[in-house]
Amino acid sequence: MTINSNTNILIVGLGVIGGGYADALTKKGYKVSCITKEQKDIDYALSRGMITYGTTQIEKDLVYNADIIIFALYPTVFIKWIEENQHLFKPGCLITDVSGVKSSVIYKVQSVLRGDVEYLSHHPMAGRERSGVEFADKNVFLGANYIITPTEKNRSESIETLKELGNIIGFGQISLLSAEEHDEMIAFLSQLTHCIAIVLMNCNSTPHLEKYTGDSFRDLTRIAKINDRMWSELFLMNKAQLLKQMDAFLEEFKNLKSLIEEDKCDELREMMKASTLRRSLFDKPDTQDKK
């Protein structure tokens, strides 16, 4: 399927990601409708030209007319939505979701889904630490990484369609990973970092530290402002991988601690040189980190 101005795109869940996708697609001339829980979010999106139509009801015709449906819901809510409403899909439609964990979502959904509908999952590696459509910003996707996670049930044609979707929205690097590779990678790059930020905000209750802080601490804890419902789901749905990454981090942290305890200056400097070298790989393409 090629995405064009006649393609009916339906977004379910108008939050930071759903809203950002809607805005990016609508502003480029595509036809975007949405289903979401709160009328006020629809009003907000309509008033800013982010969608062409929105409803708080699961309207049969709207779902049936959709060629592509993008789910931007909590993982558990997404699975339940499919179970309850999949009879409404048009045969041949393509559904995708933006969930932050894959194995525990994809295999569940594919196992219950009708055979005449294709589900291909993906993960946009961008977001904001706030929730709600009023914080949606299509610019956070520009140049960001975008990961498609096909299984053997997916057709290459659908993979091309999802690549096209990523390109239209403005993502940078578009990659394919298996669900398992994705979950291992995300446990390290995203879930472990959120764990660290949460721990940093909970391990020292000295008052007024904000008067003395620099940007390092601000940067490491930006994501400590966290949607507790979503992230507790993500952590627990990817528990085995996350615990593995937490253990690897713990081991290396203890190693660093020993070097400090034993005044091993040379080894300490080697570890810093290695981190400096490896970190340079992670600079955003075409922008040096700004600070």
Asked if residue 252 binds a second copy (CB under 8 A), the reply is: yes
Nearer of residues 128 and 153 to a second copy, judged by Cβ = 128
Give the one residue of 52, 56, 151, 175 binding a second copy; rule: CB under 8 A. 175
Shortest reach from residue 274's CB to a second copy, in Å: 6
Binding a second copy (rule: CB under 8 A), the pick from 28, 80, 155, 254 is 254
**Shortest approach of a second copy to residue 286 CB, angstroms?**
13
| CB half-sphere exposure, 228, CA atoms < 13 A | 1
202 near a second copy, judged by CB under 8 A: yes
Cα–Cα distance, 179 to 94 (Å, whole number): 18
Residue 221 within binding range of a second copy, rule CB under 8 A: yes
Q: Which of 50, 63, 70, 144 binds a second copy (CB under 8 A)?
A: 144
Query: Which of residues 17, 25, 165, 197 is near a second copy by CB under 8 A?
Result: 197
Select 107 or 253, whichever has its Cβ closest to a second copy. Answer: 253
Which C-beta is closer to a second copy: that of 58 or that of 250?
250
Taking the complex as a whole, the smallest distance from the CB of residue 140 to a second copy amounts, in Å, to 7
CA dist 143 and 269 (Å) reads 33
Do the strands 8-12 and 146-149 form a parallel or antiparallel pair, or are they unpaired?
unpaired
Quick one: which segment of 78-86, 114-122, 155-163, 247-255 binds a second copy (CB under 8 A)?
Answer: 247-255
Q: What are phi and psi of 94, to 5 degrees?
A: -110, 125
* Region of residue 274 (phi > 0: left; psi between -120 and 50: alpha; otherwise: beta): alpha
- The reply on whether position 72 binds a second copy by CB under 8 A is no
Quick note: the x/- pattern for a second copy over 73-112, rule CB under 8 A, is ----------------------------------------
